[in-house]
Amino acid sequence: MSWLVTGGAGFIGSNLVQLLVNRYPEKRIVVLDALTYAGNLENLASLEGRENFRFVRGDIRDRALVGKLFDEHAIDGVYHLAAESHVDRSIMDSGAFIGTNVEGTWSLLEIARQRWKPGEGRFLHVSTDEVYGSLGPDDPAFTETTPYAPNSPYSASKAASDHLVRAWFHTYGINVVTTNCSNNFGPWQFPEKLIPVVICNALAGKPLPVYGDGMNVRDWLFVEDHCEALDLVFREGRAGEVYNIGGGNEVPNLRIIEKVCDLIDGICGPGASPRRELITFVKDRPGHDRRYAIDFTKVSAELGWAPAHQFDDALRSTVEWYLRHDKWLHSCRSGAYLEYYEKNYTGR
């Protein structure tokens, strides 16, 4: 029997695939990934040649291909991570977000419905805390019963996919479980997201773009902690349930950026001047959610999960990882990346 991991060449997917291939040698781990700009086979290079690992390039909406993979590999579990994942890109052009996040999830659910009898198999849908919208400074953290209130095309498309997953459980009895997680950081994150953008630009001596007043708050979680939660929820989560996953670690963006600057100064030396001097306030993101915070009591009480990494240590090891992987960083920042960067930041 085999497990299918969609989006396994992306940031969280590639970290998860490393864990699964190593932890479950008796399971074949089949990665399906379209290798969009965010997918990178280099992220999985260390698994090349492993007996229980297969990579297939393809789109989750290609039903003939996905059906064939289910049949050929006797897929009895799906970790669904494939998505368009970047909020700023969704604001520029939402089409791919509806295509992959909504239609793609629907298509996978339909294949699972055809191939599995009710109660058979396992479908883990990996989603985001952004579906719950934005919190005020004194609001309690998001729980699994917080009403949905997505504010960006990205979060709206993820909310739609969550609803499809829920409906396929109640209507067709597909054995689903959904996780809604907060902001991840760690190795292999594409340098369009805040922490790798800041590391890249700080190393290159370029401006560090802060949207708005820099006081938007995110709840940061080290990616390895997220992957441990996914492994646990996949195996032990109750069918049809939702589990919130978070770091219990709320930090304003400006503070994160300052921390990264200080870490790089400490490791590489400050150069001509401290990297904090590169901090540049730019026009805010439209619809920018002010604060996210996750209450992860349910996954903790039911399944015994809690983040194992301490934030400052994990941030330091992440910065060190990017310093060691400058070739990888360089390869991400290709022509298409520069085009996106221009469009998002120039004249902002």
Residues 95-154 within binding reach of ligand NAD (CB under 6 A) = 100, 104, 126, 128
CB 227 within 8 A of CB 19: yes
Beta-sheet pairing, 184-185 with 75-80: unpaired
Among 129, 231, 250, 258, binds ligand DAU (CB under 6 A): 129
What character string, x for contact with ligand NAD (CB under 6 A) and - otherwise, covers 23-52? ----------xxxx-xx-------------
Q: How many CB atoms lie within 10 A of CB 342?
A: 10
The residues, ordered by sequence, that sit 6+ positions from 35 with a Cβ below 8 Å of its Cβ are 9, 41, 57
DSSP secondary structure code for residue 214 in this structure = S
Residues 227-286 within binding reach of ligand DAU (CB under 6 A) = 253, 285
**138 classed as catalytic:** no
Q: Does 224 bind ligand NAD (CB under 6 A)?
A: no
CA-CA distance, 320 to 314, in Å (whole number)?
A: 10
Residue 10 touches which of ligand NAD, ligand DAU, none (CB < 5 to 8 A by kind)?
Answer: ligand NAD
* Cross-strand partners of 54: 30
- Using the rule CB under 6 A, give the single segment among 24-32, 208-216, 232-240, 296-304 that binds ligand DAU: 208-216
Compute the least distance from the CB of residue 287 to ligand DAU, in Å: 10
Compute the least distance from the CB of residue 302 to ligand DAU, in Å: 22
Compute the least distance from the CB of residue 208 to ligand NAD, in Å: 19
CA distances, 6 to each of 60, 128, 177, 211, 244 (Å): 7, 16, 15, 31, 20
Q: How many CB atoms lie within 10 A of CB 83?
A: 27
Structure tokens at 279: 């901090």
Compute the least distance from the CB of residue 117 to ligand NAD, in Å: 26
CA-CA distance, 251 to 280, in Å (whole number)?
A: 18
**130 classed as catalytic:** yes
Name the residue nearer to ligand DAU (CB basis): 68 or 343: 343
Residue 319 touches which of ligand NAD, ligand DAU, none (CB < 5 to 8 A by kind)?
Answer: none
Q: Residue 60, class by beta-carbon neighbours within 10 Å (0-12 exposed, 13-18 middle, 19+ buried)? A: buried
Residues 61-80 within binding reach of ligand NAD (CB under 6 A) = 61
CB 265 within 8 A of CB 199: no
Point out the catalytic residue in the list 130, 225, 228, 250: 130
> Which residues does the annotation mark as catalytic?
129-130, 154
Contact residues: ligand DAU, CB under 6 A: 85-87, 128-130, 182-183, 193-194, 197, 209-211, 216, 218, 253, 285, 292
